[in-house]
Amino acid sequence: MALSLSSFIELLGGELHGADVAILGVASLDQAGEGQISFLANPRLRAQLQSSLAAAFIVRPTESAALDRPHITTRDPQLYFAKVAQLLYPQPVAVAGIHPRAVVDEFAIVAASAQIGPGAVIAAGAKIGERTIVMANAYIGEQVEIGGDCLIHPNSSIHHGAFIGDRVIVHSNAVIAGDGFGNAWAGDHWEKIPQLGRVLIGNDVEIGSCTTVDRGALSDTVIGNGARIDNLIQVAHNVEIGEHTAMAACVGIAGSTKIGARCQIGGAVMISGHLEICDGTTVLGGTLVAKTIREPGVYSGSYPMQTHDEWRHNAAHLRHLDDLAKRIKQLEKELRHTQLPVGE
C-alpha cells in the first residue's frame, strides 16, 4: 500500500513542503531509503537528517527552512510518525470464522466477524466481540467477555471473571484473572482464601507478554481505559490502575494498591500493597515504592552502580549509617564545647 504525503495531511493534519511523493513504508533516519518516510524528534539526530536517504520526513516547523527535500511539518513528529505507521501497517484484520481445530463450547457466543485460531479454546458462556481475533492455543475461560476489535495473542490464558473492553491487545502467554495470592495461616499450614473477584479491563488497553493480572479476592482488579502494561508485570488482586497509565516491563504491584491516571511507572519498579499513587505520578526504574504518594512528581530510589571494589567499601558503611550519624552529632557537640574556650 502506497500513500501520498498529501493523504497523510488530509487524515492527520500538518503542512506539506516540497513534492507530494508516494510513501510505502517507514524507517529510522539512518536506515530509510526509497519510498520510505522518517522523522526527526530528537534534535541531537539532526546530522542524520541531512545524510538520510529517506524519500520524505516528518519534522518540527523549525527544521523546515534547512530541509530542501519533501517533508511534513508538525508540532510532535514522533506522534505524527506513530499515526503514519499505523496507516501504513494496520493491525491485523479478523478473517471471520472459527478454525476447525479451535474448540468452542456450544454455550460460548462468538461474533460472526470474529476470528478464532487453531487450538484456541473458548469455554462455556464466554463472549467474543465483533472483529476480535483469538490466536492459536489461547484459552478463554467460562463467562469471559471480550469486546470488539481485540487481539488475543497465542498461548495467553484468560480466566472466568475477566471482562475486557474494545480494542484491547493481550500479548502472548499473558495470564488474566488467575487466582490472587490469598492465604490464611491456620497455625500449622496455609488455608487458601478462594479468590472470588473479577478482572475488569477497559478499552484500548495493552497487556504485555507473560504479564499476570490476578482476579480480585472479593471485589475486582481494575485496569482503566488506555492503560499500557508491558511484559512480565505482576498485577496482584484488587489492584486498580488508572486510565492512560503506562508501566514498563518487570514491574510488580502488590495487592489492593491503587495507581492513579496518567502515571508513568519505570521498569522493575516494585510497589507494596494497600498504597495509593496519585494521578500524574512518575516513578523511575528500579524504585521500591513502600508508601503512598499524594503529590504528583518524579520519584526514585535505587542504589547507584559502582565498580565492585568501590561498592564493597561504600556499602559496608551503609550498615552503620546510624552510627556515623551519631558520631557526627557527637562531633558537633564537642566542637561547640571546644570552641567556647577558644573564643574567650
Hey, which residues between 193 and 232 contact its own copies (CB under 8 A)?
193-194, 196, 204, 206, 208-212, 214, 218-219, 226, 228, 230-232
Hey, which residues between 309 and 338 contact its own copies (CB under 8 A)?
309-311, 313-322, 324-325, 327-328, 331-332, 334-335, 338
Q: Which is nearer to its own copies, 112 or 305 (CB)?
A: 305
Dist CA 149 CA 115 (whole Å): 10
Q: Which is nearer to its own copies, 50 or 86 (CB)?
A: 86
Q: CA–CA distance from 272 to each of 73, 221, 241 (Å)?
A: 45, 16, 14
144 makes contact with its own copies (CB under 8 A): no
Residue 122's DSSP bridge partners are: 104, 140
Residue 200's DSSP bridge partners are: 163, 222
Hey, which residues between 25 and 44 contact its own copies (CB under 8 A)?
26-28, 31
C-alpha cell at 123: 469455554
118 makes contact with its own copies (CB under 8 A): yes
234 makes contact with its own copies (CB under 8 A): yes
Least Cα distance to 175 among 191, 195, 152 occurs for: 152
SS3 10: helix
Q: Which of 71, 153, 159, 237 is catalytic?
A: 237
Applying CB under 8 A, which of residues 21, 109, 272, 280 lies at the interface with its own copies? 272
Hey, which residues between 97 and 116 contact its own copies (CB under 8 A)?
99, 101, 103
Interface mask toward its own copies for 121-140; x: CB under 8 A: x-x-----------xxx-x-
Concerning whether 99 is annotated as a catalytic residue, the answer is no
> Identity (one letter) of the amino acid at 92?
P
52 makes contact with its own copies (CB under 8 A): no
Hey, which residues between 163 and 182 contact its own copies (CB under 8 A)?
169, 171-175, 178-179, 181-182
Beta strands (DSSP E) in 210-278 are 212-214, 221-223, 228-229, 234-235, 240-241, 246-247, 252-253, 258-259, 264-265, 270-271, 276-277
Asked if 236 contacts 217 with a C-beta cutoff of 8 angstroms, the reply is no
C-alpha cell at 117: 485460531
Catalytic residues: 237
